[in-house]
Amino acid sequence: MIYLDHHATTPVDRRVLEVMQPYFTTMFGNPASRTHRAGWDAAEAVERARKQMAALAGASAREIVFTSGATESNYLAIAGVAAATPPERRHAVTVATEHMAVLDVFAQLAADGWTVTVLPVGASGLLDPDDLGRALTPRTSLVSVMVANNEIGVLQPLADITRRAHAQGALVHTDAAQALGRTRLDVRALDVDLASFSAHKVYGPKGVGALYVKRGVEPRLRAPMRGGGQERGLRGGTLNVPGVAGFGAACEMARQELDAEAERLGGLRDRLWQRLQELVGGVSLNGVLSPRLPGNLNVTFADVDGEALLLALTDVAVSSGSACTTSQPSHVLTSLGRSAADALASLRFGLGRATRAEDIDRAASHVAEVVTYLRASSPRWQLARTARSNERPST
C-alpha cells in the first residue's frame, strides 16, 4: 500500500519512538513530583520538549501548554476565551472551511447566546480579509482562522487577518495542526494570540498536543476544566510524559529538516498533479496551488461515484476529506462551490517523509486506472461525454 494520507496522521518516526521508550519504563516519574530524582527527570523531559516545540513554532517555552491534542487545544482556546468574555462582547468570527473541532465549538457558543459570524471563502479556498474587516465590530472578542487547511492545504493570509482583528481589540486563535513542521511557522511574526498543535501530524505520537498562549493573554482565558493546577492552571491533570517527550523530539527533527523536506515534497506534489492531468481527463484542482502546503493535493474527478472510487483504490491510502467526517460530502469543498457529488468524488493526497517518486508514479497510474474503469460503466460519464461532443462546432 502507498500511504498518501499524511494529513489524517503520520507514523511515529523511529527516532521519536527511541526518545519516548525510557519514559514508559525506567524513567516513569510524575513531573509534578518535586522531591526525588524520578520526578526531576520527568520534569526535565517535559521542559526540554516545551523548548523544542516552542522553537519550531516561533514561541517561547513559557507560552506552550501541553494538551491531549489539537481538538482539546481548540476547545481550550475558544471555550476558554468565551468563559472569560463579558456579555457585551459575545461576538466571534470564524470561517466556513475550518475543521469541525473548531466549528462545533462555535456552534455551541451560538446555542449559548453568542453571535457567531461564519465567513465564506472563494473558489480559491482563501478568506478575503476585507470580508473579515466588514464582519468585525467593537463587540468582537475572538477570531479563529486556521493557518493551513486540513483538506485543501491552502495558507490563509493570517498576518493581515490578525492585524484587522487586533484593531478591534479581538483575540486571534489559529488551528495550526497542519502547518506545524510542514511550512515555516512563526506565531510571533503572525502576532496570533492562541495557536493549536498536534503531535501526530508531525511524526509524533497520538494523544498529545499543545496550545500556544501568547504572554499577556492568560487573563483573558479561563480554563474550562479544573483540577491539579498543572500547566499554569490552564490544563489540569498528570502529563503524558512519554508522549510529550516524543512530541518535543518530533518538533526538533522537523525544525532541522523542514526546508529540505518542504522543497522535496513540493516537487513530488507537482509531479503527482502533472501525472494525473496526463493520465486522466476531467480532473480539477481544489483551492489555489499557491500558497499551499507543499505535500498537499486535493482534486475532483468529474462524473465518478465517490464511494466506488474510494472502495476501488486498494493500493493507495487516500481520503475524500477530513478523517473525522469521511461519510459525508466535505464541507470544505462545498464551501468552495463544489456539489455534494463532486465533493464525494474528490481525493485528498497527503505526501510525507516516506513518499518517493516511484510511489507518486504508481499512485497516479492506479488512480487513473480506477477512474477510467468507473467511468466506462457510468451512465453519467457517458451522458457528459455525449453532451460535450454535441457542443463542439461542426467542421
Catalytic residue set: 324
388: its cell numbers: 460535450
Q: Which secondary-structure segment (H or E) carries 306? A: helix 306-312
Query: How far apart are alpha carbons 370 and 308 in whole angstroms?
Result: 9
Least Cα distance to 354 among 7, 20, 13, 8 occurs for 13
From residue 30, give the alpha-carbon distance in Å to each of 3, 33, 37, 64, 354: 36, 5, 10, 19, 35
Cα 154 to Cα 38, 186, 269, 289, 332: the distances in Å are 44, 17, 14, 8, 11
* Cβ neighbours of 169 (radius 10 Å): 12
Alpha carbons 132 and 278: distance in angstroms, whole number: 39
Radius of gyration over alpha carbons of the chain, in Å? 22
Among 81, 105, 72, which Cα is nearest to 231's? 72
